[in-house]
């Protein structure tokens, strides 16, 4: 049986978002790769064979999330990669659907919603209880 892909590619130009998401996923022993824009996202996807999920912001420099979605869905080697748009843009759900995203989370994202969504695509381990994090919205940008 083939091992599931475990790594999550977090694509966001906001370092605070990247830090919080990376920390949360780290509590569940999920490996994280980071890209600060769409160009880096495509590079990371093509370099790795373990990305099981992409968490993708829409509004980024150099290449937007919508452009990343289109490029991934056109590339036969990447087309089946699950992508969840994570954006504060009020039109994010429509954009995500239009360009073939698997799901959409609107910022601010609740920790529990993020964890549940990620768990649908990559295996999570029991979170470290001593983290001090509580449920609630964390990402406001």
Q: pLDDT tens for residues 3-38?
A: 678 899 999 999 999 999 999 999 999 999 999 999
With 0.85 as the threshold, say if the pTM is over it. Answer: yes
Phi, psi of 32 (to 5 degrees): -125, 135
Phi, psi of 106 (to 5 degrees): -95, 135
Statement: 7-119 belongs to CATH 3.40.50.2300: yes
Closest CA to 72 of 102, 93, 28, 50: 102
Arithmetic mean of pLDDT, 37-61: 96
Q: Residue 53 above 90 pLDDT?
A: yes
Token pair for 42: 């495509």
Strand partners, 49: none
Strand partners, 10: 34, 55
Distance CA 21, CA 117 (A): 12
Distance CA 110, CA 24 (A): 12
Closest CA to 53 of 63, 44, 61: 44
Q: Residue 51 above 80 pLDDT?
A: yes
* In the block, residue with structure tokens 């906001």: 14
Closest CA to 114 of 98, 95, 89, 133: 133
Where do the structural domains in the chain lie, given as residue ranges? 7-119
């Amino acid at each position: 049986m083939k091992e599931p892909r475990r790594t999550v590619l977090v694509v966001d130009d906001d370092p605070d978002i990247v830090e919080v998401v990376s920390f949360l996923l780290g509590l569940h022993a999920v490996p994280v790769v980071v890209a600060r824009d769409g160009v880096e996202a495509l590079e990371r996807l093509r370099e790795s064979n373990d990305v099981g999920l992409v968490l993708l912001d829409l509004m980024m420099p150099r290449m937007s999330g919508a452009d990343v979605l289109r490029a991934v869905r056109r590339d036969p080697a990447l087309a089946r990669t699950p992508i969840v748009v994570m954006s504060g843009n009020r039109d994010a759900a429509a954009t995500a659907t239009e360009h073939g995203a698997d799901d959409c989370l609107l910022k601010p994202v609740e920790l529990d919603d993020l964890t549940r969504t990620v768990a649908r695509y990559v295996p999570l381990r029991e979170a470290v209880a001593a983290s001090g994090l509580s449920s609630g919205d964390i990402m406001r940008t």
